[in-house]
Amino acid sequence: MSLPHTLILHGLGGSGPTHWQNWLAGELAHHGGQVDLPQFTLPDAPRLHVWLAELREHLAAAPSSGERVVVAHSLACLLWLHHAAGEFDEALRVDRVLLVAPVSPEFAGEPLISEFLDVPLDPTTVRRAGASTRLVLGEGDPYCTVVRGKELAEALRLDVDVIVGGAHLNVAADYGPWTAVLKWVRSDRTPLTPR
């Protein structure tokens, strides 16, 4: 079974070398997968219009044949929703999207991301941008409660997995190697489970 082209999108500050996103990129590349792990401009001081333009450049550069998958973490989940709500371009549509540990659109604790927060929650545009989208929440995430995450999933009509004790599903929560996310990239029939 061939691996899909996988675009991995980091959140505020980037992923860092021991983050599961970097581990995932390495695993996919090791098994012959095509991986794009861009570093957005000014990861510590993001601008929505800049990140959106860069996201669209990477989507446009992805192969047009074969399965295309997007895996987004934290702030990149809101970035994806802004992209989905924007002008539709069939060439940028992907097959599957995984939104991991999104920042709540009501999160007020970080002024640097304020322009990302006012995000349209339209299930039609989300399905237009990606044929299938799944949301993964960590119990105890300081940026988005499970209750708010489930409300987000319901508003967008998304399947959701809740990782008990997962917090923000990052290095601080001990999410370096994460085999469940690798299995999901290989086959979307796998629900996300803890490390």
Asked, for residue 87, whether it belongs to a domain, the answer is yes
| Number of independent structural domains in the chain | 1
Asked, for residue 195, whether it belongs to a domain, the answer is no
The CATH number of whichever domain residue 144 belongs to comes to 3.40.50.1820
Asked, for residue 145, whether it belongs to a domain, the answer is yes
Range of the domain at 73: 5-186
Query: What tokens appear for 184 in the block?
Result: 């999901």
Please tell me whether residue 101 adopts helix, strand or coil conformation: coil
Asked, for residue 194, whether it belongs to a domain, the answer is no
Segments in 47-141 forming alpha helices (H): 48-61, 75-85, 114-117, 123-129
Digitized pLDDT (tens) for each residue of the chain, 195 residues in all? 589 999 999 999 999 899 999 999 999 999 999 999 999 999 999 999 999 999 999 999 999 999 999 999 999 999 999 999 999 999 999 999 999 999 999 998 899 999 999 999 999 999 999 999 999 999 999 999 999 999 999 999 999 999 999 999 999 999 999 999 999 999 877 789 998
Q: In what order do the strands lie in the sheet with 35-36?
A: 35-36, 5-9, 68-73, 94-100, 130-138, 159-163
Asked, for residue 116, whether it belongs to a domain, the answer is yes
Asked, for residue 42, whether it belongs to a domain, the answer is yes
Distances (CA, A) of 69 to 35, 92, 133: 10, 11, 10
Asked, for residue 192, whether it belongs to a domain, the answer is no
